[in-house]
Amino acid sequence: MAFTDSCDLFASVHEDGLNRIADHIMRQRPSWFHFATPDVAANRELWCQVPAFTSDVERFGNPVFTLLPYLPVIGVDAPPVGLGFCVQMARAQVDLHPSSLFGLPDELGSKLRDQRLAIALRVCGGIRCPDPETLDRIPVTPPRDPRRERRPEPPRQVPVPGRMTCFCLDVFAVARVARETINGVERVVAKIDGVEIVDVEPKGLEAAMECYIRTAITLYLRQKLAIPLRTFFVDFPLFGMGTVSLAPTPNPPVPHNPAVEEDQLKVFVTMTMTP
Amino acid sequence: MSHLTIAASENAFRQIFTLVRNGFTFAKSDSATFGPFSASYSLALHLEKGTVQLNNDGTVEIKALDVVWDTLLLKVCFDFPGFTIPGFCIIPDPWNGCLVGIPDIHIGGPICIPLNLSGLVSEISEVRARLKARYVVDPGRLPTWTDLEAEFAGKPNMWKIFIDPEFVSVDPIDIPATVGNLFETLVEQAIEDLLPGSLPGFAKDLLMALLTPVVEIVKGVLDVFDSVEDFIQDLLGDKLDLLGIIQTAVADHFASKVPIYEFEDPYPILTDGPLIPVKIPLRNLKADVTSQEMIVTGDIG
């Protein structure tokens, strides 16, 4: 059976290749996977993971961390106090149907269903925990008199130092792939069906965290990792050729396009001659 | 199993072939001496048509590829053997001598016959080839550059897949009979031009009538054993080796000048935004065909 029995152009990426691509993306765009407040980003002693990145990242002045605002301490506003923290992706792995690289938690069905892929993430994070003496040294701001200051300046947030307490979570997600036009470009994007965090209690906390992670991954995939369809064909010469128009092959004859099967992500394109 | 597989149907492959074929242009001028005569040419040509067939043995067969000679100017030069036409009297003087006569005329010397064969179409009857993937390092790339610096300098490494011909069969250039007739006319005209300009027209006509066999002399000089068309065909194809030149030019074009598929290595997959592009190294690239499609495979490095 030929690859192009039902189409004119076919491209597939094996899961082993996808995982290498994921590794390259993480090493060339570390700031997409490592987030921290400025104090943590500037002090490698506070990192929960040492990011691996290529020499070009620093050579071209790209950040290793995406900087985030300090975590506000709730109820504290005189002055407001913020804690340093980081969230880092330590590992990411993709397994395309059928399951072969890793198992899934029972909550996600143990094994992948047809046309599904699994993502295994190890996410590490930590918060700087100030000692009591540090907190005692933060002066309390006197209350403001609204009769003397019509529009009082909000007091500046005070970041407090502290030792980093890190933890890691193993997160599994199950997704399918779909085509979606984003910013006028037809792209292939993964759609999250479910997320499971291993060993988090109580259940309500786990559910809330899973909701946050599912939201983050869903938006992240759409915004950052929606790959243009033509990228799968690596600049194939027919793309951009005036006398040929290329479009994803419809169903029928191709039931799933893109398809996740045989440990591969496959895309099918049909060519039409333009008069 | 390869990390990456890209396949193009035979129909899609034909479209790519059309792109590569249309990219072929060739021009050349040269001259050579062949004993009693010399020849020079100036040519420019392109390719049209052609059928493509993919085979299970990994070969690509291209047949009936037209060679369109946009310009084909041929000039044949030789020394016309000198001889003297004895003078004779046209109107004798009844008493003595000659009232109107033709003096002894010596003709001979260099003659050049220009032929404009532009517009001819000949054929490459068959090209048999295999696909070949080549890794090309830009010669202008500095050894200290990273891949990204090379890309920003416009000198990235490239993967290129070529149709690499094993042989190219070029048919002889078919010269129509009209060209043979034209050649003979031009020879006669050139000889007439050798006659003194002072001769009146009727005298030239008279002399040319007498000199009709001179075309045969010229044919002898040029070793034209058969028809003039065959002579020109042999001159262009074999003596001036235009068939060999086309063969080499077409083979070079497909094998090393215009790839059917090329892309940067590492290949940029994420290029939006202010950050450096994410580039993926591709290794072990292979290209092959079956009777149904072209298949390109490779690994992520």
The pLDDT assigned to A81 comes to: 96
Angle at CA A183, nearest 5°, toward A177 and A188? 15
Higher pLDDT, B102 or A209: A209
Per-residue DSSP letter, B199: S
- A222, two tokens: 């759409």
CB contact under 8 A, A31 and B278: no
Q: Which residues of B touch A5 (CB under 8 A)?
A: 292
B273 touching chain A per CB within 8 A: no
The pLDDT assigned to B93 comes to: 86
CB contact under 8 A, B9 and A11: no
Per-residue DSSP letter, A260: E
CB contact under 8 A, A2 and B267: no
The closest CB to that of B300, out of A4, A17, A264, belongs to: A17
Burial of B190 (0-12, 13-18, 19+ CB in 10 A): middle
Q: For residue B51, give the nearest of B23, B21, B26 by alpha carbon.
A: B21
Residues sharing a CB contact under 8 Å with residue B106, sequence separation 6 or more, in sequence order: B82, B83, B84, B85
Q: Which residues of B touch A11 (CB under 8 A)?
A: 4-7
Return the percentage of chain A with pLDDT > 90, whole number.
86
A2 touching chain B per CB within 8 A: yes
**Poorest-pLDDT segment among A108-117, A204-213, B41-50, B219-228:** B219-228
Return the residue matching tokens 């597989």: B5
Q: For residue A231, give the nearest of A264, A188, A177, A271 by alpha carbon.
A: A188
Q: For residue B274, give the nearest of A61, A26, A68 by alpha carbon.
A: A61
What are the angstrom distances between the C-alpha of B203 and each of A95, A112, A251, B89, B198? Answer: 98, 103, 86, 11, 10
A220 touching chain B per CB within 8 A: no
**Mutating which of A1, A20, A24 best tests the B interface, going by the most B Cβ atoms within 10 A?**
A24
The pLDDT assigned to B58 comes to: 97
CB contact under 8 A, A3 and B295: yes
A191 touching chain B per CB within 8 A: no
Would you say B287 and B131 are in contact if contact means Cβ atoms under 8 Å apart?
Answer: yes
- DSSP count for chain A of H helices, then E strands: 5, 14
Return the residue matching tokens 């054993």: B225
The mean pLDDT value for B26-33 works out to 97
| Domain covering A9-72+82-132+158-232+241-273 in this structure, CATH number | 3.15.20
CB contact under 8 A, B16 and A238: yes
Say how far apart CA B24 and CA B47 lie, in whole Å.
Answer: 7
User: What does the buried/exposed string (b/e) look like for A223-252 if buried means 16 or more CB atoms within 10 Å of the residue's CB?
Assistant: eebbbbbbbbbbebbbbebeebebebbeee
Chain A, residues 17-56, CB within 8 A of chain B, namely: 17, 20-21, 24-25, 28-29, 31, 55-56
The closest CB to that of B280, out of A24, A244, A264, belongs to: A24
pLDDT digit string, tens, across residues B167-223? 999 999 999 999 988 988 898 888 888 888 877 787 778 777 777 677 777 888 787
pLDDT digit string, tens, across residues B80-119? 877 788 888 888 888 888 888 878 888 888 999 999 999 9
ipTM of this complex: 0.91
B278 touching chain A per CB within 8 A: yes
Q: Which residues of A touch B267 (CB under 8 A)?
A: 234-235
Treating both helix axes as pointing N-terminal to C-terminal, what angle do B201-210 and B177-194 enclose, rounded to 10 degrees? 120
Return the residue matching tokens 């891949």: B147
Would you say B127 and B59 are in contact if contact means Cβ atoms under 8 Å apart?
Answer: no
Per-residue DSSP letter, A153: P
Q: Which residues of A touch B281 (CB under 8 A)?
A: 24
Angle at CA A104, nearest 5°, toward A101 and A108? 140
Contacts made by residues A230-234, CB under 8 angstroms, sequence distance 24+: A231/B269, A232/A11, A232/A13, A232/A188, A232/A267, A232/B6, A233/A9, A233/A11, A233/A269, A233/B6, A234/A11, A234/B4, A234/B6, A234/B263, A234/B267, A234/B282
Secondary structure of residue B221 in the 3-state scheme: helix
Domain ranges of chain A: 9-72+82-132+158-232+241-273
Strands A85-96 and A81-83: unpaired
Treating both helix axes as pointing N-terminal to C-terminal, what angle do B214-221 and B177-194 enclose, rounded to 10 degrees? 110
> Would you list the DSSP string of B231-278?
HHHHIIIIIS-HHHHHHHHHHHIIIIIS-SEEEEESEEEE--SSSPPE
Tell me what percent of chain A is helix, strand and coil, each rounded to the nearest 5.
25, 35, 40
Say how far apart CA B182 and CA B188 lie, in whole Å.
Answer: 10
Alpha helices for chain B (secondary structure H): 10-22, 147-152, 177-194, 201-210, 214-221, 228-234, 242-252
First to last CA, chain A: 31
The mean pLDDT value for B125-131 works out to 98
pLDDT digit string, tens, across residues A101-131? 999 999 999 899 999 999 999 999 999 999 9
CB contact under 8 A, A59 and B146: yes
Residues sharing a CB contact under 8 Å with residue A230, sequence separation 6 or more, in sequence order: A236, A239
Domain ranges of chain B: 4-300
Return the percentage of chain A with pLDDT > 70, whole number.
99
**pLDDT band, residue B4 (cuts 50/70/90):** very high
The pLDDT assigned to B219 comes to: 80
Q: Which residues of A touch B269 (CB under 8 A)?
A: 21, 25, 227, 231
Amino acid at position B271, single letter: T
CB contact under 8 A, B276 and A231: no
Alpha helices for chain A (secondary structure H): 15-28, 38-41, 55-59, 132-136, 203-224
Would you say A177 and A264 are in contact if contact means Cβ atoms under 8 Å apart?
Answer: no
CB contact under 8 A, A243 and B301: no
**pLDDT band, residue A46 (cuts 50/70/90):** very high
The mean pLDDT value for A53-68 works out to 96
- A208, two tokens: 């809330």
What are the angstrom distances between the C-alpha of A275 and each of A243, A245, B114? Answer: 7, 10, 42
Minimal-distance CA residue of chain B relative to A14: B3
Q: Does position B125 have pLDDT exceeding 70, yes or no? A: yes
Q: How many residues does chain A have?
A: 275
